[in-house]
Structure 1
Amino acid sequence: MILVFVAISLCAIAIYSSKLRDSLACAPQLHAIVPSLDAVDSEFPTVSVIIPAYNEAENIQECITAVLDSTPLPDTKLDVWVVDDQSTDDTLLLAQSLQEALGDSRLKVLPGQPRPAQEIWLGKNWACSQGFEQAKGEFLLFIDADVRLKPQAIETAVQKAQLEQSDLLSLAPAITCGCLAEWLVQPLMVNNLAVGQDFQAVNNPETDVAFAAGPFMLFRRSAYEKLGGHRAVANQVVEDVELARRTKSAGLRLSYLLGGEFVSVRMYRSLSALWEGWTKNLYMGAQRDVGSMLYLASAMLVIYPLPWLCLVAVGYKSWVGVGNWLDLIAGGLAIVA
């Protein structure tokens, strides 16, 4: 029986690995484009970076600094809006203190207003909407406070959007891990997303398949306004995917690329945050389909812990003296798995 379970796990791992390789092989990546400063000064479009922040005291200063340090764009080309979403920690104070210390005219800090009492606003949608109302850019870049931009990230993404005529360009960031729980969970979840992701279909304007990564969403202003912005998805928990779907439905161009060379994010910093964040995103991403969630959970069980459980079972049977040669084969295969 143990050998049967190991064989099932090996088959599942082989299929999973093949799909992962195929998915990543087809995934478009954002590569470095180094514009000249003259071109940036004269021809580069104006860009507004909008950072919604709720209780992000641990992240906000480093995020802001990374954005400002990532680009030489002057204040005539770039404005960075930090929107504090009624935080109960020191997020607003830290952002304002950094603004005063840096004296960078590109940086704006906006104390967010209370959410409208008679309207449903979930997640970061209200803060993003307030930031948009202040932003002046021809391109609107929404990033999360746990995102870190690397040099030339803004210029490269905007130029790619122009080359591809993208109305929404979203980048999948590199995932940074800082604790054991993150190292155990994040690589597995990122692999699961990649396996289930059809990058060619997402980037094909002829299909209805849509996806986007909320940590980095770059819109043409005209497209964002046509979609109704975050106000149109105010009651959506997974607003990034919904905006991607609406982009395609409106006949606009969606681009989704791997952007780890330019963007990184540390999403969740504890086991409880990992559980809450991923269960929400996976459930909503599966369109609240319980069957799809059970299928995913079963697949993960077969691929990840099952070989280890079989190895433990083989060890136990050998220890109590009831093992046989089939168990030894199963143990060897479990180690290979």
Structure 2
Amino acid sequence: MTTTDWLTWTACASLAAWLWLLLGQGGFWRTDVRLPRRTEPADWPPVAVVVPARDEAAVLPDSLPSLLAQDYPGEARVYLIDDGSTDGTGGLAARLSARHGGLPLTVSSPGEPEPGWTGKLWAVRRGIALAREQTDAEYLLLTDADIAHGPHSLRELVGAARSGGYDLVSQMARLRVVTGWERLIVPAFVYFFSQLYPFRWVNRPGRRTAAAAGGCVLLRADAAERSRIPESIRHAVIDDVSLARAVKRDGGRIWLGLAEQVDSVRPYPRLAELWRMVSRSAYAQLLHSPLLLAGTVVGLAVIYVAPPATFLYGALAGHAAPLLAGGLAWALMTASFLPMLRYYGRSPWDALALPFTAVLYLLMTVDSAVQHYRGRGAAWKGRTYA
């Protein structure tokens, strides 16, 4: 088989893959999955907001006041669980509460995690335990310390959960896209996530697909008890997906979509921070399987790298078949990325960089596997999990 034949077949395989993705992967490329229609309940149920925090003093002034200022008609209380911070996170949270007022705040520390627990879930465990001791909360809002909420965020989450009869309502926070690396990598991060877990499939009761976005998860308290959250997922590195799977597996109704009032304020000024964010859990996503890793590398290469490569080869060498097949595959890939770029307010021209971004994600995934076999997998803020 000649080089031209091989590249032609590769271009055709990529084109077939893109046709399948666009037509058969749950409309993953669409960005219109927002909070479902909701009506305000006659009585607003009590809510406990649990915020696990470890060394978050840099972002807390931009996030915690937004939680304390929630315009919620019912009873709500915030529990910030200081997970062994060394930068004064707990004290800063107390000062911010005294300065801004609003919802009552409790700051607590759970101590070091017991064996078999990740730090975040250990902190969530402490927050839920306090909420059960001190309130009769019907819902638990699990939200990260770097997440800022619009003033009506909690109200709309509870309204959607009550109206739709959902046990779990999660919104993918709008991540920051200020620096060049953020603009290159962040929209693609959400795009790839929705490709793995199409929101429409997640939201369909009859499908096994389950996922949540850990920055913003509203969970019914009785669903948490039924699914033994967080004990049943205490070891999970990808805790949000594991949580959603546990709830859906036990018969709960879940919903996941893109946020309009929930934003991450965490900056990623350099590639290194974004690299760590992705690589710490990428190999865990592949179940630490070398076979799945190899398949992922080949798949990313065929789906994202082959279209521009075969198109350019066909254009330069004057061969129509790879030119046409690769060009059409590239066009479909580019078009599928445009809705996500619009959601993030980015230029459509940024879509042309998607193949390069995919190569970066490929390298991050390989690095995640390398770090795992070196015994440094899933390292985050001074902790490394097996």
**TM-score, structure 1 as length reference:** 0.80
The match for 2:118 among 113, 116, 122 is 122
Q: Residue type matched to 1:108 in 2?
A: L
Counterpart Cα distance in 2 of 1:185 and 1:167: 32
Identical residues among aligned pairs (%)? 25
Residue 170 of structure 1 deviates from its aligned partner by 1.8
- Work out whether 1:325 is the aligned partner of 2:323: no
- Work out whether 1:64 is the aligned partner of 2:57: no
Q: Conserved in 1, the CA contact under 8 Å of 2:202 and 2:256?
A: no
Change in CA separation of 1:200 and 1:308 when aligned onto 2, cut-off 3 Å: closer
The equivalent residue for 1:197 is 197
CA deviation digits over 1:79-103, x for unaligned, max 9?
1111111111232232122122123
Q: Conserved in 2, the CA contact under 8 Å of 1:53 and 1:60?
A: no
How many matched pairs?
320
Q: Which moved more, 1:261-270 or 1:20-29?
A: 20-29
Give the superposed CA RMSD.
3.3
Counterpart Cα distance in 1 of 2:168 and 2:181: 33
Residue 142 of structure 2: SS of its match in structure 1?
strand
The equivalent residue for 2:100 is 102
Counterpart Cα distance in 2 of 1:91 and 1:15: 47
Residue 141 of structure 1 deviates from its aligned partner by 0.3
The equivalent residue for 1:320 is none
Change in CA separation of 1:200 and 1:31 when aligned onto 2, cut-off 3 Å: closer
The equivalent residue for 2:179 is 179
The equivalent residue for 1:274 is 274
The equivalent residue for 1:47 is 47
Q: Structure 1 unaligned runs (5+)?
A: 316-322
Residue 330 of structure 1 deviates from its aligned partner by 4.4
The equivalent residue for 2:143 is 143
The equivalent residue for 1:227 is 227
Change in CA separation of 1:293 and 1:66 when aligned onto 2, cut-off 3 Å: farther
The 5 Å alignment of 1:235-246 reads: 235-246=235-246
Residue 141 of structure 2: SS of its match in structure 1?
strand
Counterpart Cα distance in 1 of 2:249 and 2:179: 40
Residue 57 of structure 1: SS of its match in structure 2?
coil
The equivalent residue for 1:248 is 248
Change in CA separation of 1:325 and 1:152 when aligned onto 2, cut-off 3 Å: same
CA deviation digits over 1:239-270, x for unaligned, max 9?
2222222212222x232221321222256714
CA deviation digits over 1:16-69, x for unaligned, max 9?
45557823459742057584xxx7xx7111111111111112211211112233
Q: Conserved in 2, the CA contact under 8 Å of 1:181 and 1:271?
A: yes
The equivalent residue for 2:27 is 22
